[in-house]
């Protein structure tokens, strides 16, 4: 193997030089790049099942493309000097909206705790977020976010569960990467920005789905890998942070969940969003790779989880990207052409399309007739062009020179929409209510930060209710973790924990029909 130094060309016109001399000949290029600080989007865990780590290298006449996880270092050409990383393969850590949260409840931080600093953490499958609090003046000093580095083991909880089960060091790998490469950097950056020492942290709370919280403390994931699912714990648990890989000791409280895949993120999100303060029916949807839904009504609470996948965060989409600088955050149709806004108020060529912007595209495309009810393009339109050749032919609509949407992208978004919509319909049927009965629809998660509710209703992603009943709550999971730095907030949360029924959608006969109905690109009055 003679390849030792490479120029890495990343989206946005940037370049990075990496030294690969320490890489072993039989090591994959993806792993070598990861070790050199250039992580790729290995959403299948490096098993060669996706195209998330696709890279481009110079060929004879045009760029050659291959999956970096399936190419060993010794198989690379001796004269290779640079690699191009496409937008969809690049894993960036700067995100917009992921750590933004609102608190709509009357609970306040505990005034009896009058010194030190606390950290609230939201551990999502795709993204991580944190907020730093001062107990002296009960003030949030800052919040930050980054992508979950566990993505190298798969872009969903199922892939990570399988990794933990199939590899002897799997659970330890998930824990180490999460703490060392994800949570500690967030806390370090927050403390640095606030001008305080990391040793000043006296306590922390962590919210997330059970798989993420199990991986945080290194618990085995076997019980979450097959039915009937048996997590090691769902109740609140307090651990010594140093024992799980942090720099020193402080109390870290893992917040309580409701079921094997209905986690603390939705339970504490109910607290922060004010759902527990108001009379129902109220619907809370936490959009994420593992979509979670909670419904309050006169008899109590119903909750469920549904495998929406990473599409709402831009995953598995040709030009999909997390909402960072230069990525399209919203799309509109004006005078027969496409218009958009870029995150960070940037200008120039878009660096990808966010999940919320894809919703805009679907709504606008259906409205003008470019897309039919099945998400298929009108191939008689001059805007719809054929791309590729042979078996790789696909129909696309170009938004700009390098940014486009394919029919496969639309199908991926519709699958995610159907998972959420089917779950919502099923919960409402179980409660015996209609969409018109809902007093509020609360939208949580970073995806909702840019979401246009009118467009979401138009494609059937949100229930068809008056717009003034819809409220974007931001990262409600992080907001709830902040509130639960206060011991008294746990008392209010208890009413949900004691009165909530978790609905397993695979056991409800109507879910499959509801899911199929929601695959259509139109409002189902959910």
pLDDT at residue 195 greater than cutoff 80: yes
Q: Helices 407-431 and 355-367: crossing angle, nearest 10°? A: 90
For 323-337, the pLDDT digits (tens) are 778 889 899 998 889
Six-digit token string for 359:
């919703």
Positive or negative, the CA dihedral 184, 201, 488, 254 is positive
Pairing verdict, β 337-342 and 328-334: antiparallel
pLDDT at residue 40 greater than cutoff 70: yes
Among 227, 229, 231, 189, CA closest to 213 = 231
Residues in CB range of 221: below 8 A, 6 or more apart: 160, 161, 164, 165, 170, 171, 211, 214, 215
Mean pLDDT along residues 74-99 = 67
Which DSSP string corresponds to 488-523?
THHHHHHHHHHSEEEP-GGG-HHHHHHHHHTTSSS-
Among 156, 165, 521, CA closest to 364 = 521
42 pLDDT tier (thresholds 50, 70, 90) = low
The percentage of residues in the chain with a pLDDT greater than 70, rounded to a whole number, is 90
Positive or negative, the CA dihedral 346, 348, 351, 352 is positive
Six-digit token string for 507:
């056991």
Pairing verdict, β 394-398 and 384-387: antiparallel
The structural domains of the chain, ordered by start, are 5-89 (3.10.20.30), 117-274 (3.30.420.480)
Mean pLDDT along residues 184-188 = 96
402 pLDDT tier (thresholds 50, 70, 90) = confident
Positive or negative, the CA dihedral 444, 448, 452, 455 is negative
pLDDT at residue 49 greater than cutoff 70: no
Higher pLDDT, 71 or 374: 374
Rounded-to-integer distance, Cα 146 and Cα 322, Å: 10
Contact in structure between 449 and 473 (CB atoms under 8 Å): no
């Amino acid at each position: 193997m003679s390849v030792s130094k490479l120029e890495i060309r990343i989206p946005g016109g940037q370049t990075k030089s990496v030294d690969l001399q320490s890489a072993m000949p039989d090591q994959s290029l993806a792993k070598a790049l990861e070790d050199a600080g250039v992580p790729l989007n290995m959403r299948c865990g490096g098993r060669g099942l996706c195209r998330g780590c696709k890279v481009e290298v110079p060929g004879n006449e045009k760029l050659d493309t291959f999956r970096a996880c399936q190419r060993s270092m010794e198989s690379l050409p001796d004269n290779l000097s640079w690699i191009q990383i496409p937008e969809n393969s690049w894993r960036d850590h700067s995100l917009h909206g992921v750590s933004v949260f609102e608190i709509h409840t009357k609970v306040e931080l505990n005034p009896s705790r009058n010194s030190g600093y606390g950290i609230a953490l939201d551990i999502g499958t795709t993204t991580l977020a944190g907020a730093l609090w001062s107990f002296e003046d009960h003030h949030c000093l800052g919040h930050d976010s980054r992508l979950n580095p566990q993505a190298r083991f798969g872009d969903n909880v199922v892939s990570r569960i399988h990794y933990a089960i199939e590899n002897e060091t799997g659970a330890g790998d998930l824990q180490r990467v999460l703490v060392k490469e994800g949570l500690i950097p967030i806390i370090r950056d927050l403390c640095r920005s606030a001008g305080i020492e990391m040793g000043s942290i006296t306590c922390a709370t962590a919210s997330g789905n059970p798989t993420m919280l199990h991986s945080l403390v290194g618990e085995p994931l076997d019980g979450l890998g097959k039915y009937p699912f048996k997590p090691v714990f769902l109740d609140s648990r307090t651990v010594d942070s140093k024992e799980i890989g942090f720099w020193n000791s402080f109390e870290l409280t893992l917040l309580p969940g409701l079921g094997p895949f209905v986690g603390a993120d939705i339970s504490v999100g109910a607290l922060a969003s004010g759902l527990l303060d108001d009379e129902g029916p109220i619907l809370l949807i936490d959009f994420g790779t593992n979509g979670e839904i909670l419904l309050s009504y006169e008899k109590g609470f119903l909750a469920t989880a549904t495998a929406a996948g990473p599409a709402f965060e831009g995953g598995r989409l040709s030009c999909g990207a997390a909402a960072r600088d230069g990525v399209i955050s919203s799309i509109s149709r004006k005078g027969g052409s496409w218009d958009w806004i870029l995150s960070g108020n940037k200008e120039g060529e878009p660096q990808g399309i966010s999940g919320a912007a894809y919703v805009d595209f679907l709504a606008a495309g259906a409205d003008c007739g470019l897309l039919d009810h099945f998400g298929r393009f009108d191939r008689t339109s001059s805007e719809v062009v054929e791309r590729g050749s042979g078996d790789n032919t696909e129909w696309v609509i170009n938004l700009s020179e390098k940014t486009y949407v394919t029919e496969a992208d639309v199908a991926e978004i519709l699958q995610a929409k159907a998972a959420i919509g089917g779950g919502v319909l099923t919960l409402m049927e179980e409660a015996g209510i209609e969409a018109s009965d809902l007093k509020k629809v609360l939208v949580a998660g970073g995806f909702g930060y840019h979401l246009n509710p009118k467009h979401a209703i138009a494609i059937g992603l949100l229930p068809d209710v008056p717009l003034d009943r819809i409220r974007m709550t931001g990262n409600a999971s992080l907001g709830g973790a902040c509130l639960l730095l206060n011991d008294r907030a746990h008392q209010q949360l208890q009413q949900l924990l004691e009165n909530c029924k978790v609905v397993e959608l695979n056991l409800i006969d109507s879910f499959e029909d509801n899911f199929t109905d929601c695959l259509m690109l139109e409002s189902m009055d959910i």
